[in-house]
Amino acid sequence: MTKTKDIIKEITSRKDPQGYYVLVAVNNKIVHEIVERYAKSNLLTEVIGDIIIIRCKSRRIAEELARSLLSRNLLQNL
């Protein structure tokens, strides 16, 4: 459990220059379904080969996405 908290803390402790939290995940159907749940949250997604880059402004949404992706072992290291 501590590992999950550490990873989420690392993700939410930094933003990109435009002010977005950035998550990198495996590009598959499950990830797209998870992202669809947050469609109204102004997420920016970019598919590059076998990874998907997810950007969001909200810390809470970034934490929820990270937990959901981590529980399914779909989050990639940067």
Domain coordinates in residue numbering, the chain: 2-71
Kindly list the distances between the CA atom of residue 44 and the CA atoms of 3, 4, 33, 48, in Å, as whole numbers in the listed order. Answer: 26, 23, 15, 13
Question: What secondary structure letter does DSSP report for 41?
Answer: G
- Check: CB of residue 17 under 8 Å from CB of residue 43: no
Residues whose CB falls within 8 Å of the CB of residue 29, separated by 6 or more in sequence, listed in order: none
The whole-number pLDDT of residue 72 equals 93
Residue whose structure tokens are 């990109």: 16
pTM value?
0.88
pLDDT tens digits for range 18-63: 999 999 999 999 999 999 999 888 899 999 999 999 999 999 999 9
Residues whose CB falls within 8 Å of the CB of residue 13, separated by 6 or more in sequence, listed in order: none
